[in-house]
Amino acid sequence: MLLLIISLSVLFLYCRDNPNFWLLVWPGTVLHEGLHWSVGKVLFANPVSFNVLPKKDDSNIIGSVSFSNMNWFNGVPVCMAPMLGFPFAFMLYSYLPAFELWSIQGILTVWIFSAMLASSWPSYVDFEVASKYFVGWIFWIGLIVLLIYNTSWRFNS
């Protein structure tokens, strides 16, 4: 089952040129943009707009969140927030009750989780915006390394 979900996620990523692509990944778009909004709210980036419907033009934008207070401190985590979708999807999947694969519940579950995994990688625009915050990258990577270092020496003694 999990292999099927991961395979469909990869397939969804290759269907981006299809005009109805947004229908396939809509549950994932809600998760993707919701994570941007949530992390932005927690880190005071002040989200001002939230959209999970595609634009009418040819830009292939299927969702967006705008912020009024992006800076070096919150720019990187807000842009990379969709990566939190990977552990969230797997955690949610682990709590699902058993079901028949070819039932309505099974088909919906496979579709929703495939879309969630496909949308859990930051978009090109997310990477482009995050690249503007060099000091933020240094700060957050340094903080992660410090946390890993501090927790690793405690367990060894």
What is the arithmetic mean of pLDDT over 36-46? 96
Mean pLDDT calculated for residue range 137-150 = 92
Backbone angles phi, psi at 67, to 5 degrees: -125, 150
**Residue 103 confidence (pLDDT):** 82
Distances (CA, A) of 140 to 36, 45, 125, 132, 133: 17, 16, 20, 14, 11
For 11-34, what is each residue's pLDDT tens digit?
Answer: 766 676 666 777 788 888 999 999
pLDDT tens-digit map of 50-61: 998 887 666 677
Predicted TM-score (pTM) of the model is 0.83
The CA distances from residue 40 to 70, 80, 82, 124, 149, in Å, are 8, 11, 12, 18, 27
